[in-house]
Structure 1
Amino acid sequence: MTKPIRILVPVDQDAEALRIALGYAQKICEKFGPEVQDIVLLVHTKQQLDHTGLSQSLGAGHVKALAKGPISLSGGGRLHAETMKTWRYPPRKSVVVVYYAEPRILDFVDDLNNIAGVVVVPDIPAAADGWVARWGAIIHGQAQQAPPSALIDDPVFVRAIETLSSMINLSTGLGHPRDKAMANEIMRILRTKGHSDQSANIKSWAIRRGWRPDHAADLEALARKIWALRAKPSLSGIHDPEGRYRRWQADS
């Protein structure tokens, strides 16, 4: 499966941001060919299409037309306008232009399937930095970045949470009590063995490995809770913590 192409158009492009973003979206469509002709302009709310700088960039005529359905773009492709409330899963493979991007709407997009590309335009500097680091996104005006880093540079920690990922149902995350208990045990063992807090990166790590963003956020919250404990947690009641830890060391 081809991975989505991910691009950031920095906020400092301002008035030109929409034109640049749509240009990138059309190039992604061209790369995929006839199977990808739909570009979705995604915002938080309908008001952002009607009463913001974005509406001025679109023009009143296009805003009115988009309210009725997709419009054809001069450079190719069909432009749709959607909000987080109205859009769920694209019926056809699409490119998404995310406007006024910040973590919540970017998590929403990361949870979608059938996406050929994502072009992100934040309205606040650094609002999409976590998403860029997560995916190693291309940044407009900058040289191509190296592939994304491992995010977590502790190999034993990584092996432990890889074990968790392989044993739970990723479609439900930590929703099942047994799976949450397993995650809790793993975090407690790692904390007790002196490993540092990885909660700042664990959500992105999990999303990159197939976790849904909301489930990855649950894993992050659990990690924060364990490392916020004043003292190292007790391992009593946990099955074979020493043996499990030795296996993570051996496999890392």
Structure 2
Amino acid sequence: MKGFSMSRQNFYVSKPADAEALILAAEFSFDQLGVPESSELWIVTETKAQLRHTPIEQFLGEFQTKVLAQGRSLVSKGKPIRYYSSVTLPRSAPKAVILLLDASLRLVTRVDGLNGTAAMIVVPWLMEDVQGWIDAHGPTDILTNAQASTAPLPAPIVVSALKSLLTGINVSTGLAHPRDKDKTIDLFRILKKAKIPVDAEEVRAWLIQQKLKPTYADEIASIARDPSKVKKSSSGVAWAGDIISQWKTRSEVEANT
């Protein structure tokens, strides 16, 4: 399936951003520049104000921080260091190590969807803002070196249904086409009518693990939470009348192979 890269390394600090967490993450990120697969380091925050006059400025130095804030780069271990805010963040990050500071839900979702990233190090503002990212990727905690658990897999029949969905919609555009959105709504309405439990967060995590862009996974998970509240653009049903039986059979076959 065409999607974004999942080959990157994922790390986080298992507590909200404070001076200790910020500096520890910065030191760790600079160490990652020594990894051959990395090409540069990006420091990313929501706004430029989160860069200046902070523990990160104390770590980098006032002059160096000012250089980054002006859009210029520094060099460490022969590789460039750059700063981006949510306004200036590029759409791809070829082999970049990304240090995401004071990570908000909106910004961690954007950075999570960048193509080509070598490593992502997240220092959260609030832990709940990054829980969905943790559930999807199971990052390593740089404080303890322990790997976080990913979300549980959806029920086998739900996984079978989601696999059908991913082969039936344009995964490169999410639910931009009304037909793809209707197909998604129908899928979750069918599961709900059959009284099959669906956990939207499990669905989101599984979709991202299948290389679907996080923003598209969010769209699908939003529908999964309550498909009856989402309007369709057409009156027809996109799935065969016996689709539940098909999904059940496929899930049983896969369980035995």
Instruction: Give the TM bin, normalised by the shorter chain.
Output: 0.7 to 0.9
Asked if structure 2 preserves the Cα contact closer than 8 Å seen for 1:15 and 1:57, the reply is no
Deviates more, 1:16-25 or 1:78-87: 16-25
Asked if structure 2 preserves the Cα contact closer than 8 Å seen for 1:170 and 1:210, the reply is no
Q: Which residue of 1 aligns with 2:73?
A: 70
Give the letter for the 1:132 counterpart.
I
Which string of whole-angstrom CA distances, capped at 9 and with x for unpartnered residues, describes residues 186-212 of structure 1? 111100000123123322222222222
Q: Which residue of 1 aligns with 2:237?
A: 238
Asked if structure 2 preserves the Cα contact closer than 8 Å seen for 1:191 and 1:227, the reply is no
- Any residues of structure 2 matched to 1:124-203 within 5 Å, and which? 124-145=126-147, 148-149=150-151, 151-203=152-204
For residue 51 of structure 2, the aligned residue among 49, 52, 68 is 49
3-state SS in 1 of match to 2:84: strand
Unaligned residue ranges in structure 2 (runs of 5+): 252-257
Unaligned residue ranges in structure 1 (runs of 5+): 230-235
Q: 1:200 to 1:12 in 2, by over 3 A?
A: closer
Paired residues in the alignment total 242
Deviates more, 1:124-133 or 1:96-105: 124-133
Q: Tell me, yes or no, if structure 1 residue 93 matches structure 2 residue 95.
A: yes
- The whole-number CA distance in structure 2 between the counterparts of 1:2 and 1:211 is 10
3-state SS in 2 of match to 1:115: coil
Which string of whole-angstrom CA distances, capped at 9 and with x for unpartnered residues, describes residues 52-109 of structure 1? 4443443321211213411123x66432111111021346421000000122111101
Q: Tell me, yes or no, if structure 1 residue 26 matches structure 2 residue 30.
A: yes
Give the letter for the 2:207 counterpart.
A
User: How far is the alpha carbon of 1:118 from its aligned partner?
Assistant: 0.3
Q: Tell me, yes or no, if structure 1 residue 5 matches structure 2 residue 9.
A: yes
TM-score by length of 1: 0.84
Give the letter for the 1:43 counterpart.
T
Asked if structure 2 preserves the Cα contact closer than 8 Å seen for 1:43 and 1:84, the reply is yes
Q: 1:164 to 1:66 in 2, by over 3 A?
A: same
Deviates more, 1:239-248 or 1:106-115: 239-248
Deviates more, 1:114-123 or 1:194-203: 194-203
Asked if structure 2 preserves the Cα contact closer than 8 Å seen for 1:152 and 1:198, the reply is no
Q: 1:24 to 1:178 in 2, by over 3 A?
A: same
Q: Tell me, yes or no, if structure 1 residue 225 matches structure 2 residue 226.
A: yes
Q: 1:126 to 1:219 in 2, by over 3 A?
A: closer
- The whole-number CA distance in structure 1 between the counterparts of 2:11 and 2:238 is 45
Give the letter for the 2:48 counterpart.
K
